[in-house]
Amino acid sequence: MINHARTILLNMPALEGDGPLAPGEEFIPKDFAPIKLPAELLSVHTILIPEAATRADRNYLGFAYMQLAHTPDFVKYVQALDRRVTYNFEDSYFLEVVFRDGPPVPLNFQTISNKMLVEIVKLNGRGMGLFATVQGFEQQMLELQQLWRSAPNSVDRLIAATLALIYRIDEVRRRRRT
């Protein structure tokens, strides 16, 4: 699926019709349907994307997470799901025009990632199994778990956890289709 990792992370439907797009909107396949996440995945998802987030907030957070996930250490995990992406981080339209009065949420990941990590560590310590084996992506999950354990900074740990969550949600989606 085009924009696979982003679409799975945001877990929201494509917009209906041919009207104007929501702020920061990227391609979501028309046949994509969000799923109800299992409790253990929902708890981490809610840390990353608050339930009260508007569509614009979700798009903004998706932009930020995908920008971090497309760094040299992590892009291969995004592309393992599907190499086709339509978003472009060089296009400053999203940040300059869509949110000219400031972003809907603060995005100093160096600061907020520590708080998010504390919550994720608590959940993972309770046996949540964020880095459990995902069929077809066993090696990627092992590598993400290693990055989670050894990353030199909290932002890299947060992105390792975010990508592991994407793989786990994708696995749930695949199981429900069969």
**Higher-confidence residue: 101 or 55?**
55
Average pLDDT estimate for 92-111: 49
Residue 63 is predicted with a pLDDT of 84
Alpha carbons 116 and 109: distance in angstroms, whole number? 9
Least confident of 22-31, 50-59, 99-108, 134-143: 99-108
Cα distances from 82 to residues 4, 28, 77, 85, 163, in angstroms, run 6, 13, 9, 8, 13
Residue 96 is predicted with a pLDDT of 47
Token pair of 14 as six digits = 């494509």
Nearest to 2 by CA among 88, 107, 85, 97: 85
Can you point out the beta strands (E) in 17-126? none
pLDDT band at 117 (very low <50, low <70, confident <90, very high): confident
Q: Which long-range contacts (CB under 8 A, 24 or more apart) does 127-130 make?
A: 128/40, 128/43, 128/44, 129/40, 130/44, 130/161, 130/164, 130/165, 130/168
Residue 78 is predicted with a pLDDT of 94
Whether 170 shows a pLDDT value over 90: the answer reads yes
Alpha carbons 100 and 6: distance in angstroms, whole number? 23
DSSP letters, 51-77, are: TT--HHHHHHHHHHHHHHHTSTTTHHH
Residue 98 is predicted with a pLDDT of 46
Average pLDDT estimate for 81-103: 62
Cα distances from 157 to residues 34, 37, 59, 168, in angstroms, run 26, 22, 22, 17
